[in-house]
Amino acid sequence: MEELITRIQIDGQVLDEGVLKVDSFLTHQVDPQLMAKIGETFATAFKEQGITKVVTIEASGIAPAIFAAQSLRVPMIFARKSKSLTMNEELLSASVHSFTKQVTSQVSISRKFLTSQDKVLIIDDFLANGQAAKGLVELCQQAGSQVCGIGIVIEKSFQEGRQLLEELNLSVLSLARVATLSEGDVTFLKEESQGE
Ligand code: G4P
């Protein structure tokens, strides 16, 4: 998605150890106009699949996911990383290991929101090692829901996330695929799967 790539080139900052800071439009301050276009792009790509729910994980997945859900006219569910006071029903739960942060956390969704009738589109802001997306796939499997695809805003293609998800036979659409991150420079892979 050309507009997203241009925005990353203008506003993204490369931090040490292959981390891309995009807090001015995606992970902290959010640009709703760009998010709406991102949501529309995901919706267009997956509109033939009969999606009934969009699933993401808090916090930064929520913005692109809500716009994708709005475009598809279906509900959006975000997995919680800590149990809320009101989550008193039966839960779907999976553990997610972050290699970046070296912590394992439990992520949960109330069972009542996902059923075996659901066809799910998973959305997340970043795909790095793929552990968050894999955890969301596990939650859908526990509910008996079908995962129809995974939409990612920024994929770090030099990490193993895409490979992990493709090995699980999942279709991954990433709107920007970062090939390399070095001081002051971001390069991208150009492929059909960028959603253009
Ligand atoms: P994985 O889910 O693909 O395995 O990723 P990993 O454990 O490596 O990443 C942990 C967290 O860091 C995730 O967010 C992920 O989205 C984010 N992340 C990974 N690489 C980058 C990057 O280059 N730039 C930025 N800005 N974030 C990155 P999280 O902990 O779930 O945080 P949040 O969604 O609550 O903000």
Do the Cβ atoms of 127 and 154 come closer than 8 Å?
yes
Average of per-residue pLDDT values in the chain: 94
pLDDT computed for residue 84 by the predictor = 74
pLDDT computed for residue 191 by the predictor = 64
Does residue 176 line the site of ligand 1, with CB under 6 A? Answer: no
Query: Parallel, antiparallel, or unpaired: how do β-strands 19-21 and 119-127 relate?
Result: unpaired
158: Cβ–Cβ under 8 A, 6 or more apart, which residues? 18, 178, 179, 180, 181
Q: Is 48 exposed, middle or buried (0-12, 13-18, 19+ CB in 10 A)?
A: exposed
* Binding residue positions: 20, 27, 128-132, 156
Instruction: Return the minimum-mean-pLDDT range out of 147-161, 162-176, 177-191.
Output: 177-191
Does residue 125 line the site of ligand 1, with CB under 6 A? Answer: yes
Do the Cβ atoms of 120 and 145 come closer than 8 Å?
yes
User: Counting atoms of ligand 1 from 1, which one is nearest the CA of 97?
Assistant: 7
User: Counting atoms of ligand 1 from 1, which one is nearest the CA of 99?
Assistant: 7
**Which two tokens mark 114?**
């996902």
* Mean pLDDT of the 9-29 span: 95
* Mean pLDDT of the 143-168 span: 98
Nearest 10 degrees: Cα torsion 46, 148, 150, 78? 100
pLDDT in tens, 28-73: 999 999 999 999 999 999 999 999 999 999 999 999 999 999 999 9
Going from N- to C-terminal start, the domains of the chain cover: 2-194
* Mean pLDDT of the 188-192 span: 78
From CA 68, how far away is CA 147, in angstroms rounded? 15
pLDDT computed for residue 83 by the predictor = 74
**Which two tokens mark 186?**
């971001």
Is the pLDDT score of 82 beyond 90? no
Please tell me the CATH code under which domain 2-194 is placed: 3.40.50.2020
Other C-beta atoms within 10 Å of 113: how many?
15
From CA 22, how far away is CA 8, in angstroms rounded? 7
- In this structure, the residue with its CA closest to atom 35 of ligand 1 is 59
Q: What is the DSSP letter of 155?
A: E
Is the pLDDT score of 88 beyond 90? no
Percent of the chain with pLDDT over 70: 97
- Higher per-residue confidence, 84 vs 123: 123
**Which two tokens mark 67?**
């716009």
Question: Would you mind telling me the total number of residues written for the chain in this entry?
Answer: 196
Does residue 6 line the site of ligand 1, with CB under 6 A? Answer: no
Do the Cβ atoms of 97 and 106 come closer than 8 Å?
no
pLDDT computed for residue 192 by the predictor = 54
Is the pLDDT score of 196 beyond 80? no
